[in-house]
Structure 1
């Protein structure tokens, strides 16, 4: 198959994987509804950067080595458990609205980017998915152009999807509804993150 055909087969698989509900989706949605659209988009950029790293690791052939490191899985699970604890702990903290910007911003764009980057990088299941998705791409020798084109396309897909999530969940009406039920919404989100963290560590 030509490079174009292989890319046409590989990229939709990656998009479906990005759209699958999981810790990344939950984090972007919670960050966007709690703060503002820019925070969600910054987190989306962090996850896109992590996806590029995963693809580089897979292409260079290091994925199997990293995936075999049990301490890496444990670290990823612990990080999600930490985020779950932090979300639960701050669920009762009062926040307010600031007019056009929506909910009062307490984080920074750099902080949002960093959380997105580290949460995605420390998820061994995400690494395994990218290795699987790239199996068709790596089945035969591809040109340098194909490899060079793959990375920005993956970045675009990840950022586009999670930015869409950020835009949807930063809707002012949804934010107002979130403020009303914030304590319970955040505790449900914290519980889900905790379950995902435990699953990564022990499954």
Structure 2
């Protein structure tokens, strides 16, 4: 496998990881508990590993080519992200302050965070399309399965490193003190991120169904 492919794909993935989206919003929602946040980081990384493997083996293309299955994934993802947005919006309306923020500390678990991370990333059809497009464009058919597995492992490890560091940094006492003072703004940002992606998926789904009906 050419070294250029390895480093270029890694660099592009890091840019994607640094972009605000549902995964970043989830880290903001879970960082009040370090264990929960680390579980979410692990879940996101495992979901990205699965996305990568599905894309590199062509399974994602089969899923995308089955309209009913892809639409079902879109609907499930939109509803789940919408539910997360509603939860964050309720926190904004409740005016969650530092006392509520502190009281939630220690209530999460690694398994709970893992499930949240997996669901948030796996149920986001935008992630499926992203990995399918990126890997199809950059990984030629001549690249062997061993190299493909190495590329998938690279994307997973970079994701775990990025979100793991984010979880550790955002869960420090100093960061928590800053977040507690701006908790309503944080909840508003997470609600906006979840909500925008959810609405975009629903509009895309509605447009696709309308074109099929026409």
TM-score between the two structures when normalised by the length of structure 1: 0.85
CA distance in 2, matches of 1:186, 1:137: 37
Query: How far did 1:22 drift?
Result: 0.7
- Is residue 194 of structure 1 aligned with residue 195 of structure 2? yes
- Which residue of structure 1 aligns with residue 107 of structure 2? 106
- Which residue of structure 2 aligns with residue 52 of structure 1? 49
Residues 37-91 of structure 1 deviation map (CA, whole Å, 9 limit, x = unaligned): 3322211110110011111111121223323421211111110001112223345
Residues 118-137 of structure 1 deviation map (CA, whole Å, 9 limit, x = unaligned): 11001111111112221244
Q: Secondary structure at the match of 1:134?
A: helix
CA distance in 1, matches of 2:119, 2:150: 24
RMSD: 2.2
Structure 1 residue ranges without an equivalent (≥5): none
Alignment length (residue pairs): 196
Query: How far did 1:25 drift?
Result: 0.9
CA distance in 2, matches of 1:86, 1:8: 38
TM-score between the two structures when normalised by the length of structure 2: 0.81
Structure 2 residue ranges without an equivalent (≥5): 205-214
CA distance in 1, matches of 2:38, 2:148: 26
CA distance in 2, matches of 1:96, 1:47: 23
8 Å Cα contact 2:46/2:156 also seen in 1: yes
- Is residue 41 of structure 1 aligned with residue 46 of structure 2? no
- Which residue of structure 2 aligns with residue 17 of structure 1? 16
8 Å Cα contact 2:39/2:109 also seen in 1: no
- Which residue of structure 2 aligns with residue 83 of structure 1? 84
- After TM superposition, the structure 1 = structure 2 runs for residues 172-191 of structure 1, keeping only pairs within 5 Å, are 172-191=173-192
